[in-house]
Amino acid sequence: MTREHRYTHGLEVLERIDGEAGRRVVDTLADTSPELGHQIVAWAFGDMYARPELAPRERQLVTLGILTALGGCEIELDVHINAALNVGLSPMEISEALLHSAVYCGMPRAINATLVAKKVFGERGLLPLTNVS
């Protein structure tokens, strides 16, 4: 597979999962590190996200957990919370995943991630969430 084919394939996957937000991240890198933008599209999405062993919903849950655990990834969390909604996760499922992350990576990181989710949910008209537990 050629470099250009990997990029084209990755762009299709990126747009399907992240929509316009993913394209904005790549465009933001164009004048500073176009190669990083290329690798995000070709490798992360064309190769990794396109693998059939995990469904897009599962990949987004893993991604949300990792970004929460890392901390300091609020920009990426914004993109991937939107992506999680795009691939069919409900706001309650996302909220529950972020709550669960508090057990393993701590309250401050879970709170920061939840505040990003609150922003995204608000922008998409999905608030307030009602907890059925």
Residue 131, pLDDT score: 73
What CA–CA distance (Å, rounded) separates 29 from 85? Answer: 24
Check whether 132 has a pLDDT greater than 70: no
Check whether 74 has a pLDDT greater than 90: yes
Confidence category of residue 106, pLDDT binned at 50, 70, 90: very high
Residue range 28-43, pLDDT digits in tens: 999 999 999 999 999 9
pLDDT average, residue stretch 52-67 = 97
From the list 84, 90, 86, 109, the residue with the least C-alpha distance to 98 is 109
From the list 123, 39, 110, the residue with the least C-alpha distance to 79 is 123
Check whether 24 has a pLDDT greater than 70: yes
pLDDT average, residue stretch 102-123 = 98
Is residue 54 helix, strand or coil? coil
